[in-house]
Structures are given as C-alpha cells and as structure tokens.
Homo-oligomer: A and B are copies of this chain.
Amino acid sequence: MAVKKLGAQTVKFQNPPSIIATATVVGPVEGKGPLRNYFDLILGDFKFQEKSWEKAEKKMLKEAVEMAVKKSGVPSDKIEYFIAGDLLNQIISASFAARELGYPFLGIYGACSTVAEGLGIGAMLVDGGYADNIVVGTSSHFCSAERQYRFPLELGNQRPPTAQRTVTGAGAAVISTKNQNPRITYVTTGKVIDMGAVDPNDMGSAMAPAAVDTIVMHLEDSKRTPEDYDLIVTGDLASVGKDIAQKLMLQKGIDVSNKYTDCGLLIYSPEQDVHAGGSGCACAAVVTFGYIFNEMQKGRYNKILLVATGALMNSTIVQQGETIPCIAHAVALENL
C-alpha cells in the first residue's frame, strides 16, 4: 500500500503542509452577515468596477489570490502552482485569473467542494516534494450562477424556501513547506454519491448523503472519532441539508450534534432572508479562509474537519432527466 495512504480514501501527510496565509473577498450581502469582520475586502456592489458579473467574479478571485500571496510574504515568482476552479462553464473565473496572475495553472472542478479539492491536491503536491509554495483559490457569484444554473435575475423568479443563495466572493490560501500552524494533516477524497435528487432548488438535500459518506470514510480510514475534532464543518448544506446529514450520521451511530456546523449556515444570519442558507464555491472558501483560519490562528479551534460538498450537474443534463450526482472532500486542519 502507498506509504501515505490510510484505508480506502484517506491520505495522511508525513510533513503536514502549512496554510501560511489566506485572503477573502465577499459581496455586499455577505458583508452584512455575521462573519463580516473576518473578511479582507467587502464589495459595495456586484460589479466591482467591471462590465459584467463574470468579469467581477474573475476580479474577486484575482484580488483574493494577490492578497493571500502578499500576506504570505512569499515572493510572487516563488509561487509554483495556482490550483483553482469555480462554478462557471469551463471555469472561466479561474482560467482568466490565471492568465493575469501568470502562475503555472492546474484547473479543477468540484462545484462547491472545490476549496477542499484544491487544498487536498495542493497539500499532496507540497508534501510530495513537488513545490514549496502553492496558492489555491476559488470563487462564485450570485448573479452569474443564477443565470447559468437557474433563471436570469431579470425574470424576478421567486425562489422556494429550500433554495440556497450562491455566495458572492472568493477565497485563496497559500500552502507551504514552512513550519507553522495551521497544518493540513489528512485529506479524504470523496466518491460521487447520487441518491436520486432532481431539484436544483434543493441542493442541500442532494448533497447531504455525500457529506455523510465522506465523513464516515474519513473516520474509518483515520481511526478517528468526532471527539478528535473541535468542529466538523460541512459546506454548503445549509439548514435543510445539515439536518439531513446530522440524522444520517446518527443512523450510523455517529453523534456530532455538539460540534457540527455548516458553512452555508454560518455565512448569513436568519434575518437576511436568504432561504436555506449559502452555497457556491465561495461559501466554504470564505468561511474557511476567513472565519476558521483566523480562529485557528487565535487558538480558539485547534482541530477542524472541513467537508466541502458539491453538486456536479449542469442544466443540460438535468433537462435530459438526470438526477444530481454529488461529492464531498474532507480536509483536516490542525494546530500541531
């Protein structure tokens, strides 16, 4: 068996890579939410001085990456890979940001699980001896996502209570061989799970089984229990999906009730009228790189299991009658 592999789906790092810096940009709605003090840049509107939402999204990602690299103190020419993806067709936010940033680029796609997929691949490349410094990033934008996945905003469609709001924002992190906390200690790569959900306005229900599958595999492979973590954070199941995930785990004898939360619930307050909560690649990214990273640096949390979830459909295939395949990747973040 490969020396760094544990069980079926988990990697344990021999020299756990560090997250040495993070940065976040969020839109105006997220900037009024309960985590507002954790974000580096809050936009006043959805355009960010650009002519389209797509261009604004790309600019947010580029800004987040540049801020994270600047904070890390790593000279820009020492960043060896930019690993990124987003929700837009052909991950244009990531590709166009990569064009301006100039780093060697690995494009990834995991829908809203992208942040965990990126941290996982990034940590493997750093621990594997392929790079000393890598920047990982992802983004999403409420307006560009709505028109691509659902309806143009101009239609003014009403959204059902199970719908989640795509977070407008971008997050980036620099992963490094430098000897500092927090570290990436374990990565559990998810399988695609599809329980037959078909409603693109209820992604939480669709994704919950994938989150549970990955959490169960992580605990089994690593021989850990929920007690080994200060907090297990899924993202982005929001209120509907989080309840389902918690019940499914309890059915498997895993009680996480006192230490389980979800990025889609943390990012907005109930008063903000966003229905079930947040979603989008930026949801788990800005909560992790804003709130969690900062609280880990302060020592409030020392062991976090991030389980980012993604729904892997597109509108064409849903119109062809397909159900929605989902995935979740887990990353353990620890102060050692």
Contact = CB atoms under 8 A, between A and B. Distances in A.
A19 interface: no
A333 to B, nearest CB: 18
Given A4-B129, A130-B128, A104 B9 contact: yes
Contacts of A4: 128-130
Interface string A314-333: 11110010100101000000
Contacts of A99: 192-194, 312, 325
A70 interface: no
A317 B124 contact: no
A334 interface: no
Interface string A73-94: 0000000110001011111100
A105 interface: yes
Nearest to A98: B192
A108 B105 contact: no
B110 A107 contact: yes
A54 B90 CA distance: 16
Given A51-B320, A96-B322, A107-B117, A81 B189 contact: yes
Given A98-B325, A106-B117, A125-B128, 18 more contacts: A2-B80, A9-B104, A11-B130, A87-B90, A88-B314, A89-B314, A89-B316, A91-B312, A95-B192, A95-B325, A96-B317, A98-B327, A102-B192, A109-B109, A127-B128, A128-B128, A128-B129, A128-B130
Interface of A: 1-5, 8-9, 11, 14, 51-52, 54-55, 80-81, 85, 87-92, 95-96, 98-99, 102-111, 117, 120-121, 124-132, 148, 177, 189-194, 312-317, 320, 322, 325, 327
B108 A325 contact: no
Contacts of A124: 124-125, 128, 130
B2 A177 contact: yes
Stoichiometry (number of copies): 2
Contacts of A90: 87, 89, 109, 111, 312-314
Contacts of A105: 189-192, 327
Contacts of A327: 95, 98, 105, 107
B128 A314 contact: no
Nearest to A81: B189
A284 B314 CA distance: 25
Contacts of A129: 2-5, 14, 128
A317 B80 contact: no
A72 B90 CA distance: 31
B107 A312 contact: yes
A101 to B, nearest CB: 8
